């Protein structure tokens, strides 16, 4: 059984849209692209190095796939991102294996059912980067095993949110957390059954 891990940069008010630059996603007149960049430091280098320093496959929405595929093969040809499998959720064809990005596999049809089948296979963990629309499908269908969040000390008020309208009620346990000198919290949450309700 493979686990699905969502790696997300998120603001205090839950926005995950375009953390790395305006060109990532300006849909719905989003004007705050690049909001995470000013907080990047050696702490986040270390966290990301640890989280991506072992074998994994990727599960990506089409917009994130196109963005990554246009950059990573040129940016760092030897990067593990180029070597591992990329599962792409899209109804449109993707370029052939050797044309753009090696080891890219399209997922179409009933996305939730196809991802459930993928989880049942043997293999490395599956990491989800970016892909806000895809994350909503995963949360709605209870397919996220862990959340590896980088929580930034900013609020934006509008933009695509990590937890949208379709998110099901779910409990998570905090596995580990640490903070950067700039106030970014790196927190790992693991799916942990139902919410513990009560009354005071």
- Identify whether 199 is part of a domain: no
Nearest to residue 126, comparing CAs of 152, 88, 93? 88
- Identify whether 91 is part of a domain: yes
- DSSP per-residue codes, 42-62: HHHHHHHHHHTSS-EEEEEEH
Residue 99 has pLDDT above 90, yes or no: no
For the segment 36-57, the average pLDDT, to the nearest whole number, is 96
- Identify whether 194 is part of a domain: no
Give the integer Cα–Cα distance in Å for 109 and 36. 34
- Identify whether 61 is part of a domain: yes
Q: What is the pTM of this model?
A: 0.93
For the segment 160-185, the average pLDDT, to the nearest whole number, is 96
**Residue 79 — very low, low, confident or very high, per pLDDT cuts 50/70/90?**
confident
What one-character DSSP code corresponds to residue 101? S
Share the mean pLDDT of the chain.
93
Percent of the chain's residues with pLDDT above 70: 98
Residue 31 has pLDDT above 60, yes or no: yes
- Identify whether 175 is part of a domain: yes
- Identify whether 89 is part of a domain: yes
Buried b (16+ CB within 10 A) or exposed e, 16-50: bbbbbeeebbeeeebebbebbeebbeebbeebeee
Give the integer Cα–Cα distance in Å for 39 and 183. 8
**Residue 97 — very low, low, confident or very high, per pLDDT cuts 50/70/90?**
low
CA 47 vs CA 11, 14, 150: distances in Å: 17, 20, 9
pLDDT, position 140: 97
Domain interval for residue 61: 4-185
Number of domains forming the structure of the chain: 1
- Identify whether 195 is part of a domain: no
For the segment 47-75, the average pLDDT, to the nearest whole number, is 91
CATH assignment at residue 125? 3.40.430.10
Provide the token pair at 181: 């000198």
- Identify whether 196 is part of a domain: no
Residue 46 has pLDDT above 90, yes or no: yes
């Amino acid at each position: 059984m493979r686990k699905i891990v969502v790696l997300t940069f998120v603001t205090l008010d839950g926005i995950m849209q375009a953390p790395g630059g305006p060109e990532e996603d300006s849909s719905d007149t989003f004007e705050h692209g690049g909001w995470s960049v000013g907080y990047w430091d050696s702490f986040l280098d270390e966290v990301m190095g640890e989280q991506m320093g072992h074998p994994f496959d990727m599960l990506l929405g089409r917009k994130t796939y196109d963005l990554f595929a246009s950059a990573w093969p040129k940016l760092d040809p030897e990067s593990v991102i180029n070597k591992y499998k990329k599962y792409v959720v899209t109804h449109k064809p993707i370029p052939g294996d050797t044309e753009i990005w090696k080891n890219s596999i399209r997922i179409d049809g009933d996305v939730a059912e196809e991802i459930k089948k993928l989880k049942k296979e043997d293999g490395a963990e599956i990491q989800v980067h970016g892909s806000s629309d895809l994350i909503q499908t995963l949360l709605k269908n209870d397919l996220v095993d862990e959340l590896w969040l980088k929580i930034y000390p900013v609020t934006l008020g509008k933009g695509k949110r990590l937890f949208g309208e379709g998110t099901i009620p779910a409990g998570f346990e905090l596995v580990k957390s640490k903070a950067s000198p700039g106030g970014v919290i790196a927190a790992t949450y693991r799916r942990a059954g139902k919410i513990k309700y009560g009354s005071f």
